Amino acid sequence: MKTELRYASHPDDFRSYDTTRIRREFLIETLFVPGGITLTYSMYDRYIVGGAMPTDKPLKLEAFDDLKAADFLDRREMGMINVGGDAEIIAGGVTYTLGYKEALYLGKGTAGIVFRSVDKSKPAKLYINSAPAHHAYPCKKVTLKEAIVAEMGSLEASNHRNINKLLVSGVVETCGLQMGLTTLSPGSVWNTMPPHTHGRRMEAYFYFEVPAGQAICHFMGDPDETRHIWMKNNQAVISPSWSIHSAAGTASYSFIWGMTGENLDYGDMDIRQPDQLK
């Protein structure tokens, strides 16, 4: 298991970052390693972003040194969405099967977490988000059919999309973690436009289904002084609470958003209109 620690940055300091520094601090370039688990522990709300890609052997999720815990979820909750072949997750003595774009929530105190691919020739790719938790809520699998779907934007504005709210209040009980999956309509390239910030929550974006040779231009930073990061398929980016999070792709794509913070109100956001950005 490979782990990495990322520290928080002040927005005033961020203004002076060059491309290399921005990518080093916020971009997670490698999430899926065949036969391995990768985890990035961010000091923004102590959020963990990771990926598990079991191949010929099952993978056991264990606590790492920075957690100072016997088990990974001793003081945490976790969500995951499968973006690969069918997966089996053993958690708390229960086996869950996850198909493509299906989600699983694991509550605080869940132990004995093991990831397995149903077919090793078509390995599962489990995108993982985890946040601190104060209460143990029941584990639950959530499919796209069970998601709360919000249709947003328009083709005329190149931002028509469906937001599938998978691990959110109203679908599953969590302490602070929320996750969902957004798909863009053909011809639309912008996500989360108009952009926003939410001082009560941090967020992470994971881009996938990006065709070979194409890219995502992710925008972040203070609305009055934005920056961008060019991203490839199966990469993630950390978004501080003071930063916008929006992107345009050179081809069609999907992305998974995950967040945690002070509340579970999905609509808690401070919108900045496109003509107000700098």
Task: Convert the pLDDT of each residue in 35-57 to its tens digit.
Answer: 999 999 999 999 999 999 999 99
- Looking at the chain, how many residues does it have? 278
Query: Using CB atoms within 10 A of its CB, is residue 77 exposed (0-12), middle (13-18) or buried (19+)?
Result: buried
- Residues of the chain predicted below pLDDT 70: none
Q: Beta strand pairing status for 235-239 and 201-208?
A: antiparallel
Closest CA to 202 of 11, 19, 51: 11
User: Angle at the Cα of 218 (from 205 to 24), degrees rounded to 5?
Assistant: 80
Q: Cα separation of 60 and 38, whole Å? A: 12
Could you tell me if 243 and 277 are in contact, meaning their C-beta atoms sit under 8 angstroms apart? no
Domain 2-276 annotated CATH 1.20.1430.10: no
pLDDT of residue 170: 95
pLDDT of residue 4: 96
Q: Cα separation of 228 and 119, whole Å? A: 38
